[in-house]
């Protein structure tokens, strides 16, 4: 996988260490927590107002996708992102729930 498109890894090849690396970042963890509502979110949405440059957000989105956490859907010119929550729950039971429940906020 080049990572240059919107391809995602098969969940069977996703490791917990790679998932942990991906979410072990304050912004990426907040992205995952936002996506935990189960909805498709536009990549350019105002709810990503994390105080970082758009290119930084693109970088974070890419890391999450390549780690197996998210999936991008392209509809016309709109790119939306969603958490692969059902697949993640099967592969790593309880992990996403635990990440969402964190009480640091």
Q: Point out which residues bind a second copy (CB under 8 A).
A: 15-17, 20-21, 23-26, 29, 91-95, 97-99, 101-104
The dihedral sign for the CA sequence 19, 101, 80, 53:
negative
Shortest reach from residue 49's CB to a second copy, in Å: 19
Shortest reach from residue 65's CB to a second copy, in Å: 17
- Closest CB to a second copy among residues 23, 81: 23
Buried b / exposed e across 3-40, counting CB within 10 Å, b at 16+? eeeeebbeeeebeeebbeebbeeeebbebbbbbeeeeb
Shortest reach from residue 25's CB to a second copy, in Å: 7
- Closest CB to a second copy among residues 23, 72: 23
- Closest CB to a second copy among residues 28, 65: 28
């Amino acid at each position: 996988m080049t990572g240059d498109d919107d391809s995602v890894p098969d969940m069977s090849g996703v490791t917990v260490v790679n998932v942990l690396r991906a979410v072990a970042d304050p912004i990426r963890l907040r992205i995952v927590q936002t996506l935990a509502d189960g909805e498709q979110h536009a990549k350019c949405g105002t709810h990503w107002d994390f105080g970082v440059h758009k290119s930084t957000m693109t970088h974070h989105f890419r890391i999450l996708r390549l780690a197996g956490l998210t999936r991008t859907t392209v509809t016309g010119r709109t790119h939306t992102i969603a958490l692969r929550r059902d697949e993640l729950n099967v592969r790593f039971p309880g992990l996403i729930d635990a990440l969402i429940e964190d009480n640091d906020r």
